[in-house]
Structure 1
């Protein structure tokens, strides 16, 4: 198979009327050079470049360090027992393979479309659409899930400080017997207003909140480690490896977000240099914190006490110290920490949609910029829809649906590395994935392993989402693609 620049209407097979045949439409690709040229654009014509290494790293950390450790840990321990530490390692290794792949691709293709753009350059428009559609699920549902977790910590902080709790109907949607999750919707809308003010200002707020969340997790480890007991680690793997795998699939949600830095590619001053460094730095820091927190949490509190699935880190601090003071500090920090995740992941979602809109696959409103270079309509539409999702759907299904969509997109990024290593070895790579082609193959296999560890109901929801995406692609996106009227596109011959 050879890549060629082929005139669509000339040498490529066509249908009646001169339109390209279905196979050519599905496999047409955007050359890497074209993707890079689009990100550079005319001065003032696109997103504004103002982010350096630290801003990009804060985006990666801000999006990753959140609900997975603050909320989902309590749901994973009853499944894996003390071996939840291994579950974090399993999920972390899977994410690490993909982080290495992202680092290589981001250094070559600094486009805000992230995995979607990488797929467009390597596997063609159809797979790019599938990847983008999965990323819509990943980022959109992730924001909603974090919003639900934020509401839980708001309620815990209220209870710790006043002894009162919010009405159950305001903390749960109809599927949980409530009316609407008010806090979850509020935090999404607050993040929307922050993004509308400007990305530069939002990145500064995020940096402060990231510093706070790192500080409170370090505080948790320092306190909880004093109560660690050997007996709490026995039996270490009560549910066997099946429990570890299932918990690992759920906890993979904890690592979603390190790739958010790649969605800021078009707003980075030096993306080829800074993006790979930011992705790897955020991944290493987050993984170290997760392992420390998980170890001290199950060491300080017997895993059987997590059976209700609702045990929080703040609750562990109260049990360890016998006072609520530290729990109040932790809960207050968690409120700010989770708000930063909502802010960054919502930002990432709008940038994915911006790239897809620029390519014509979704309406142009999503790539229209205001005078400050902000995709205003995109931000408002996306935020309102996600606020409704957060208000109505419970956390558990949201986390699982997010994880399976992310695993699929991550697998495609590993495939993209393999494709470009073979088809374009001449491309300059600011970072090279070590151990290729073995490591990207392991990345694909580890993603597949966690995907097949998920429940049938999650697969049904995922396949239903893909089916809706296929209907939209064939009825709208394929015909409106910017490549539909290009003089030349990259095809396989």
Structure 2
């Protein structure tokens, strides 16, 4: 019988130490973080008024629909790497290891760059306390923050979980402080007075703004999947993973709506569009300054800075697990498949993503944050988002006997809602970022990944230069058996287990 702490194949590796509360805290800390504190002005700019709240509502609907996709996949396939495992299991029958390879290819770029947006937000808010900060000082501060987070993650995962809970508490405190300040000085007239033609649904202008708002919204909700990346370290994953995803989305949805509406009831939305106004870069500080005074604003700014650290910490914690599982399956560079001999964490992945995050931060500091978010989201749509929507259906057909402790509610409706949302984001990407060509760049990156895969597959002598290696270790009749050491090069693909 396989040891529940070592995964379905019995191989020693991660230990399941993270419970429901810690898992939910990890997700929520990653989801909230600095995101809404820097994107509220971006959302207002996308819609051109306080009706920007539509973007957060639309983002919540997409996050919940997509979260149910993650919940079913995570509960059924609780391995390290999350999406890597799901795409490998679903698409191995026709395209071998192409899809999981492409996911790792994009994730090694996308996730550290997404983390770097949090570092950019950290430096923006720090400027409220340090108004004379120069460009060079801001750059060095951001680099130092990433190095600090990597240092904090250099240890046992249960220590990380405790730190995540502490940072989650600070995140809740910062959000609650801003919400309370906003609603004690709330002006319904300011929050609910919309510009003329704000809701003209027949105009292309509204839908371009909606697509941009949806992109920003799902960026803010991003992170509800963090514990799915850590599936091999979650206690009772069939129960804990779906709950941690759903609880975190619902909790953050309530927080975001209160935060967005409360902020719009205190700060004039025109001020958020003025680059010389503090509301455009540190809107939470502006709310506290207008309500409870400068000292309260300084305290709130410190809490927001700690919240940013929480977001970066938990994001890198989960993401560093992805290349580890891929390397063990010979879909990525083999050195990434080793764990730290004492603390049992993927040390090389951690260092590599930290380094890429530094590069992304420096690039982002000299570009537009909204455009950077658009580029990052467009890249991830092609492989991870659309791939996983398809993976739920493919796995139900290919592996009907797979244990499914959680099944998606109202299947396939959430999958279709998620599919529609991701296609809207992708289809409007070029119009939302004129002149930056995010669609073309995303296609070029995936095409480069396909070329890299062919070179890698030829070196490893796997499909299409060798046999497809079918791995169904999560099926009930396979999970309790010891894995074979090497695939027989003359054997054909193993057929899926019958229902």
The TM tier, using the shorter chain, reads 0.7 to 0.9
Partner-residue secondary structure (3-state), 1:77: helix
Counterpart check, 1:69 vs 2:40: no
Partner-residue secondary structure (3-state), 1:428: coil
Shift of 1:63: 1.2
The equivalent of 2:121 in structure 1 is 149
The equivalent of 1:115 in structure 2 is 83
Partner-residue secondary structure (3-state), 2:428: coil
Return the alpha-carbon distance in structure 2 between the equivalents of residues 443 and 279 of structure 1: 15
The equivalent of 2:112 in structure 1 is 140
Matches within 5 A, 1:4-403: 39-42=7-10, 45-80=12-47, 81-124=49-92, 125-159=97-131, 165-171=132-138, 181-232=139-190, 233-235=192-194, 237=198, 240-308=206-274, 310-321=280-291, 323-371=293-341, 372-394=343-365, 395-403=369-377
Q: Which has the higher helix share?
A: 1
The equivalent of 1:6 in structure 2 is none
Q: Which ranges of structure 2 fall in alignment gaps of 5 or more residues?
A: 200-204, 431-435, 463-467, 470-485
Partner-residue secondary structure (3-state), 1:123: helix
Return the alpha-carbon distance in structure 1 between the equivalents of residues 159 and 133 of structure 2: 32
Counterpart check, 1:466 vs 2:425: no
Contact 2:101–2:332 (8 Å) recurs in 1: no
Q: What do you get for the CA RMSD once the two structures are aligned?
A: 2.5
Contact 2:178–2:288 (8 Å) recurs in 1: no
Shift of 1:319: 4.8
* Distance change in 2, residues 1:458/1:170 (3 Å): farther
The total of aligned residue pairs comes to 444
Contact 1:138–1:401 (8 Å) recurs in 2: no
1:424-477 Cα shifts (integer Å, max 9, x gaps):
333221111111122212211211112222236222332232233222211125
Q: TM-score, normalised by structure 1?
A: 0.84
Shift of 1:201: 1.4
Contact 2:72–2:407 (8 Å) recurs in 1: yes
1:316-358 Cα shifts (integer Å, max 9, x gaps):
3245326212211111011111101111111222111111111
Shift of 1:37: 11
Return the alpha-carbon distance in structure 2 between the equivalents of residues 73 and 84 of structure 1: 8
The equivalent of 1:3 in structure 2 is none
Return the alpha-carbon distance in structure 2 between the equivalents of residues 406 and 294 of structure 1: 26
Contact 1:137–1:405 (8 Å) recurs in 2: no
Contact 2:81–2:326 (8 Å) recurs in 1: yes
Greater shift after overlay, 305-314 or 323-332? 305-314
Partner-residue secondary structure (3-state), 2:321: helix
The equivalent of 2:481 in structure 1 is none
Q: TM-score, normalised by structure 2?
A: 0.83
Counterpart check, 1:480 vs 2:481: no
1:351-382 Cα shifts (integer Å, max 9, x gaps):
11111111111111111112221222222232
Return the alpha-carbon distance in structure 1 between the equivalents of residues 458 and 158 of structure 2: 35
Shift of 1:481: 7.3
The equivalent of 2:478 in structure 1 is none
The equivalent of 2:433 in structure 1 is none
* Distance change in 2, residues 1:481/1:436 (3 Å): farther
Return the alpha-carbon distance in structure 2 between the equivalents of residues 117 and 460 of structure 1: 27
1:219-256 Cα shifts (integer Å, max 9, x gaps):
11111123332332222637634312212212321011
Counterpart check, 1:407 vs 2:381: yes
Contact 2:266–2:287 (8 Å) recurs in 1: no
1:394-428 Cα shifts (integer Å, max 9, x gaps):
33443222222343312222211111223333322
* Distance change in 2, residues 1:224/1:204 (3 Å): same
Return the alpha-carbon distance in structure 1 between the equivalents of residues 262 and 461 of structure 2: 51
Counterpart check, 1:416 vs 2:416: no
Return the alpha-carbon distance in structure 1 between the equivalents of residues 66 and 23 of structure 2: 18
Contact 2:109–2:356 (8 Å) recurs in 1: no
* Distance change in 2, residues 1:311/1:152 (3 Å): closer
The equivalent of 1:15 in structure 2 is none
Return the alpha-carbon distance in structure 2 between the equivalents of residues 253 and 490 of structure 1: 39
Contact 1:63–1:345 (8 Å) recurs in 2: yes
Q: Which ranges of structure 1 fall in alignment gaps of 5 or more residues?
A: 1-33, 160-164, 172-180
* Distance change in 2, residues 1:200/1:445 (3 Å): same
Contact 2:6–2:14 (8 Å) recurs in 1: no
Return the alpha-carbon distance in structure 1 between the equivalents of residues 23 and 215 of structure 2: 27
Contact 2:125–2:281 (8 Å) recurs in 1: no
Return the alpha-carbon distance in structure 2 between the equivalents of residues 56 and 69 of structure 1: 21
Return the alpha-carbon distance in structure 1 between the equivalents of residues 193 and 91 of structure 2: 47
